[in-house]
């Protein structure tokens, strides 16, 4: 199981190393400091109540302060942002002034950061030049992901109570015309090893709000994610967080109002804690999708999800795996046949309201033909999964069903435990659609899913 510590041990220890206070402003940039632009004190967010089990690296006080100047009137401030960060790298505190909007029209490579605090008190807004960003945003290796900037290095703290605005409306409207455009992710945590990101408002991302890739020992706290379309074209694929090739990540104490996964654990996400989230309008907290790319090995393990409120969503807890043959969910999302495993996953304490499925497990993601999916079972195994302490009411969409628990073969899916599941449909039932999961009918009320062999016995 995930190595979890109590508040009295790990949470307080983690808080101590992440919350070292920032010093008062130095003489550097004294003119700006004289206008009353006080640097924020680095916030003290405890990792509570669960913890990945290893102390996060210490973050010492900063020794100098730099202020980012804004040109105003929508002119590009990218050069000023980069200048201030370079001046205060290796031991400084960078302040984005309160009440000021900074316009960023250039892709910023910030993977060189070390021992620095970014104090975002104002607003950073990315331009809506969709041609520029498609050509110059940072390309990543999974699902055509791109980012406005990539923030990485070691010992980096981002906070301040300000806002990052992705100017997403132009992207929502463009995507409605062309699903193959490359839409940037608002916040790219790429190759960050040790740090915290907290007390920020994220608004109107063109695609996912956060990508955490190739990173470790990062804590996200008190993040407010919101923003939808103002036209008939919806904001698509606006995941709250996607983790990828990362370990020892904590996401906690946040609000997500979006149009896709609240949090998604993408390939090779390990030892991650997600706790105390309020998610609305999402597709749930999801393992996957996994097994999309042939020849790739996707591993997701040691995940603990605790104390989630999920409303007006398609799913509460979700595990989604591609089948063993090529399938197409949509024109810009297709795949199947990949390898790997899902193991040691716990969803503990979730309250659902108007959610289509409280729990969904599928190894036929992207494949509507269950008979065909079962002929080509997933190459990716699911085992050692616990879902417990769920309560609430589902939507009318699948009434009388409250969940969907269907694997492509009992040989690649098992040891799935459901405990204390008190979820009802609007008509008062608590029935799950089940298939190819050994022993599931002994844990919940099952009806056999069409095209499957049911769930009554283990394989020989």
How far apart are alpha carbons 101 and 442 in whole angstroms?
58
206-244 pLDDT, tens per residue?
Answer: 999 999 999 999 999 999 999 999 999 999 999 999 999
| Cα 399 to Cα 233: distance, rounded to the nearest angstrom | 28
Mean pLDDT of 275-298: 96
Residue 450 has a pLDDT of 73
For range 157-182, the mean pLDDT: 98
Per-domain residue ranges of the chain: 7-448
Tell me the C-alpha to C-alpha distance, in Å, between residue 66 and each of 8, 59, 100, 195, 306: 36, 18, 15, 19, 38
Alpha-carbon span 244 to 289, nearest angstrom: 11
pLDDT of residue 454 exceeding 60, the answer is no
Given this model, what pLDDT does residue 452 score?
Answer: 73
CA 25 centroid distance within chain: 34
Q: Are 349 and 307 in contact (CB under 8 A)?
A: yes
pLDDT tens track for 114-123: 999 999 999 9
Confidence of residue 457 (pLDDT cuts 50, 70, 90): very low
What is the mean pLDDT of the segment spanning 48-60?
Answer: 95
- Residue partners of 374: CB distance under 8 A and separation at least 6: 408, 409, 436, 451, 452
| Cα distance between residue 201 and residue 5, in whole Å | 29
pLDDT value of position 14: 42
Q: pLDDT digits over 334-351, tens only?
A: 999 999 999 999 999 999
The CA-based angle 159-287-294, given to 5 degrees, is 115
184-185 and 138-139 as β-strands: parallel, antiparallel, unpaired? unpaired
% pLDDT > 90, the chain:
85
195 vs 12, residue with greater confidence: 195
pLDDT at 27: 43
Can you give the pTM of this predicted structure? 0.92
Phi and psi angles of residue 454, each rounded to the nearest 5 degrees, phi first: 80, -160
∠ CA 263-269-272 to the nearest 5 degrees? 65
Query: How many CA atoms does the CB half-sphere of 162 hold within 13 Å?
Result: 23
pLDDT of residue 332: 86
Residues 182 and 176: their CA atoms lie apart, in Å, by 13
Instruction: Indicate if the pLDDT at residue 69 is higher than 70.
Output: yes
Average pLDDT of every residue of the chain: 91
| DSSP for residue 8 | I
Q: How would residue 36 be classed by pLDDT, with cut points 50, 70 and 90? A: low
What pLDDT shows up at residue 11? 42
105's CB contacts (< 8 A; 6+ apart) are 76, 78, 126, 127, 129, 132
Average pLDDT over residues 91-100: 98
Count Cα neighbours of 454 within 13 Å in the Cβ-side half-sphere: 10
Q: ω before 49 within 30° of 0 (cis)?
A: yes
Residues forming the active site: 283
The 3-state DSSP class for residue 351 equals strand
Q: How confident is the model at residue 37 (pLDDT cuts 50, 70, 90)?
A: confident
Count of CB atoms situated within 10 Å of the CB of 19: 16
H-helix or E-strand containing 118?
strand 108-120
- Please give the pLDDT value at position 10: 47
In this prediction, residue 34 has a pLDDT band, given cuts at 50, 70 and 90, of very low
Q: What is the CATH code of the structural domain delimited by 7-448?
A: 2.160.20.10
- Residue 33, pLDDT > 60, answer no
Work out the average pLDDT over 275-295: 96
Helices and strands in the chain: count of H runs, count of E runs: 6, 30
Residue 263 has which token pair?
Answer: 């949090």
Q: Strands, E, within 58-186: which ranges? A: 64-68, 92-96, 101-104, 108-120, 123-126, 138-139, 146-147, 149-159, 163-165, 184-185
Confidence of residue 32 (pLDDT cuts 50, 70, 90): low
The per-residue pLDDT for range 381-431, each reduced to its tens digit, is: 999 999 999 999 999 999 999 999 999 999 999 999 999 999 999 999 999
Question: Which pLDDT value is given to residue 371?
Answer: 87
- Cα 379 from Cα 340, distance rounded (Å): 7
Q: What band does 449 get if pLDDT is binned at 50, 70 and 90?
A: confident
């Amino acid at each position: 199981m995930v190595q979890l510590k109590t508040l009295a041990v790990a949470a307080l220890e983690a808080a101590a190393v992440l919350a070292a206070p920032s010093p008062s402003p130095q003489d550097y940039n004294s003119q700006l400091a004289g206008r009353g632009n006080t640097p924020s004190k680095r916030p003290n967010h405890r990792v509570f109540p669960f913890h990945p089990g290893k102390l996060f690296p210490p973050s010492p006080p900063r020794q100098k302060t730099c202020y980012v100047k804004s040109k105003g009137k929508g002119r590009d401030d990218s050069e000023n942002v980069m200048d201030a960060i370079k001046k205060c790298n290796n031991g400084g505190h960078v302040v984005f002034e309160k009440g000021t909007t900074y316009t960023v029209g250039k892709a910023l490579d910030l993977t060189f950061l070390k021992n620095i605090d970014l104090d975002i008190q104002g607003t950073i807004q990315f331009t809506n030049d969709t041609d520029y960003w498609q050509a110059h945003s940072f390309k990543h290796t999974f699902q055509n992901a791109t980012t406005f900037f990539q923030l990485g290095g070691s010992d980096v703290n981002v906070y301040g109570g300000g806002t990052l605005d992705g100017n997403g409306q132009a992207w929502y409207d463009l995507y409605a015309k062309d699903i193959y455009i490359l839409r940037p992710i608002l916040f790219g945590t790429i190759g960050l090893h040790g740090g915290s990101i907290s007390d920020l408002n994220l608004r109107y991302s063109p695609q996912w709000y956060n990508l955490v890739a190739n990173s470790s020992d990062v804590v996200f706290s008190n993040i407010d994610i919101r923003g939808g379309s103002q036209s008939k074209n919806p904001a698509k694929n606006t995941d709250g967080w996607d983790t990828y090739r990362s370990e020892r990540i904590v996401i906690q104490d946040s609000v997500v109002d979006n149009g896709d996964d609240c949090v998604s654990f993408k390939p090779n996400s390990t030892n991650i804690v997600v706790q105390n989230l309020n998610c609305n309008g999402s597709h749930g907290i999801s393992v996957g999708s996994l097994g999309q790319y042939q020849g790739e090995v996707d591993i997701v393990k040691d995940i603990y999800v605790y104390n989630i409120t999920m409303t007006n969503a398609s799913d509460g807890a979700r595990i989604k795996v591609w089948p063993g043959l090529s399938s197409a969910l949509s024109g810009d999302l297709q795949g199947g046949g990949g390898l790997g495993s899902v193991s040691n996953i716990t969803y503990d304490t979730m309250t659902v309201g108007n959610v289509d499925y409280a729990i969904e497990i599928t190894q036929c993601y992207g494949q509507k033909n269950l008979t065909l999916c079962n002929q080509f079972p997933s190459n990716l195994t699911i085992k050692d999964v616990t879902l417990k302490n769920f309560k609430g009411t589902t939507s009318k969409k699948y009434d009388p069903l409250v969940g969907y628990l269907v694997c492509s073969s009992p040989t690649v899916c098992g040891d799935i435990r459901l405990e204390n599941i008190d979820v009802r449909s609007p008509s008062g039932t608590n029935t799950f659609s089940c298939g190819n999961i050994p022993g599931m009918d002994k844990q919940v009320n099952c009806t056999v899913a069409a095209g499957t062999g049911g769930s009554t016995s283990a394989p020989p």
